[in-house]
Amino acid sequence: MKADRLVAVVDCGSTNVRAVVVDSNGVFTAQSSLPNKPSPQPGGMGWLIWNMDELWDRVRTVLRNVLSKVGKVDAVIVTTWGADGAPVKRNGELTYPPICWQCPRTIPIAERLPSIMNPWEIYRITGYQIISFNTLLKLIWLRENEPKALDEAYTWLMMPGLITHRLTGTFHIEPTSASTMMAMNLAKRDWSSEMLKLAGLDVGFFPEWFEPGDVVGYVTAKASEETGLAEGTPVVVGGHDTQFAILGAGVKHGEAVLSSGTWEILAVRSSVFNPSKVGFEWGVIIEADVEPGLWNPQLLMIASAVLEWVRERFYPELPEGYYETLIRDASGVQPGSGGLLFIPSFVKDSGPTRRFKTEGTLLGLTLSSSRAQVYRAALEGLSCQLKLAVNALVESTDFHIDAIRVVGGGSKNRLWNQLRADITGMPISVNS
């Protein structure tokens, strides 16, 4: 690739939508971001969905912002969070909106699934634990509650596919996001008919497989008008943001990657798919790597969402995503946070504490407890969670971890990085 060639990366997270233009040396030449959040589904059930028109509006806005600075780009790629997707008609129209991973409607399905299929067998096939937001559970919910949404659909697209379709008009699915569905035969990097039958589906319902890096289509005239991208610009297959963070971190032997954002994912790259009983008990999940023939054993843990919960309740005067005041205040608090113990198990069926069935807990409050102590206790609790995750990966994979490389928004919190190092006893490096 020539040095002057540019790629626009649409990095669509559940809390921020970002566009970055990168040159062939990996240098960011322009970037723009907007906050992102799910919408309450009309009906007052407390359900959450993604409004695709609003999400697309954010995507095209950040693209226009970066293109105003650099002009034309040579290619586009899309990465997003995993687990969420939607059924679509042949013209791309949704038959049901994407159900958000935070929506509680699938919890009863997760609770009853072990009586239908052995959780260990599910793990052995898919590499996935039963977590309430898994895509397969949403498909089962649709089959039971909104069957027309599936019956009238042409196919199913995960979030990268939904955005890519708006750019190109093409349908595709790729292994990195599909591996978050709990529906793949992960050893074969293909669908599991046995898992899909649980939702009354077969492999023919899903679009053609593409691999990350393939050209899936080209920017249409309509998408060009909406985004500012030149018509005919190649759109390259992306996928699940976590796997791309792992690839981009450039980890060395013995290093684990900690992708830190709303969720934290501690992962390694492995040349074998080896779901073990130990990993199953610890809550380890395994996803498809960007590169065929590799897999990503990992621990999925709630992270910055906990810190945002603290900010909302104890620092309500501060804007969303602003942490400098919290970090400054907590830096003046002694280790131990005045006796406060914070267990960050806010999503109890994920992370290394799932085996203990622990729920989110704050212990040790007194009349003299301060909000700075609460925030530091949350950071300490998250760092202890990381230590448990390291132990779990080492025990279940025989992968020796002696250093951790942190990427993502959570890597910018200097106090958190220091606590990670102190509590794990490992060097912490941060990608610039």
Mean pLDDT of 180-206: 98
Instruction: Tell me the pTM.
Output: 0.88
Contacts (Cβ under 8 Å, ≥6 apart) of 139: 150, 156, 183, 199, 201
269 shares its domain with 323: yes
Residue 1 included in any domain: no
Residue 6: half-sphere exposure toward Cβ, Cα within 13 Å = 17
Give how far Cα 431 sits from Cα of 151, 200, 250, 402, 428, Å: 46, 44, 9, 17, 10
- pLDDT higher than 70, residue 88: yes
- pLDDT higher than 60, residue 83: yes
pLDDT of res. 1: 42
Whichever domain contains 370, its CATH number is 3.30.420.40
**How are strands ordered across the β-sheet holding 255-260?**
285-288, 295-302, 263-267, 255-260, 403-407, 428-430
Of all residues in the chain, the percent with pLDDT exceeding 70 is 99
Last residue within a domain, chosen from 244, 269, 286: 244
- pLDDT higher than 70, residue 348: yes
Closest CA to 403 of 251, 244, 206, 190: 251
Q: Predicted confidence band at 432 (pLDDT cuts at 50, 70, 90)?
A: low
302 shares its domain with 351: yes
**CA angle at 9 for the pair 70 and 184, rounded to the nearest 5°:** 165
232 shares its domain with 309: no
Residue 179 included in any domain: yes
Q: What is the mean pLDDT of the chain?
A: 95
97 shares its domain with 223: yes
Give the number of other CB atoms < 10 A from CB of residue 184: 24
Domain that holds residue 342: 250-430
389 shares its domain with 289: yes
Give how far Cα 104 sits from Cα of 52, 101, 110, Å: 20, 8, 10
265 shares its domain with 234: no
- pLDDT higher than 50, residue 374: yes
Contacts (Cβ under 8 Å, ≥6 apart) of 209: 172, 173, 174, 175, 190
Of all residues in the chain, the percent with pLDDT exceeding 90 is 88
- pLDDT higher than 60, residue 2: no
Last residue within a domain, chosen from 190, 215, 244: 244
User: What's the pLDDT tens digit per position in 7-62?
Assistant: 999 999 998 999 999 999 989 999 999 999 999 999 878 999 999 999 999 999 99
User: What's the pLDDT tens digit per position in 212-262?
Assistant: 999 999 999 999 999 999 999 999 999 999 899 899 888 877 789 999 988
Q: What tokens appear for 346 in the block?
A: 């806010």
- pLDDT higher than 60, residue 152: yes
46 shares its domain with 152: yes
- pLDDT higher than 60, residue 3: no
Contacts (Cβ under 8 Å, ≥6 apart) of 301: 263, 264, 265, 266, 344, 350, 351, 352, 382, 385, 386, 389
Our measurement of the distance from residue 358's CA atom to the centroid of its chain's CA atoms, rounded to an integer in Å, reads: 22
Residue 77 included in any domain: yes
Residue 291 included in any domain: yes
User: What's the pLDDT tens digit per position in 288-322?
Assistant: 999 999 999 999 999 999 999 999 999 999 987 78
178 shares its domain with 276: no
222 shares its domain with 279: no
Last residue within a domain, chosen from 217, 244, 271: 244
Mean pLDDT of 370-374: 98
Closest CA to 35 of 21, 52, 55: 55
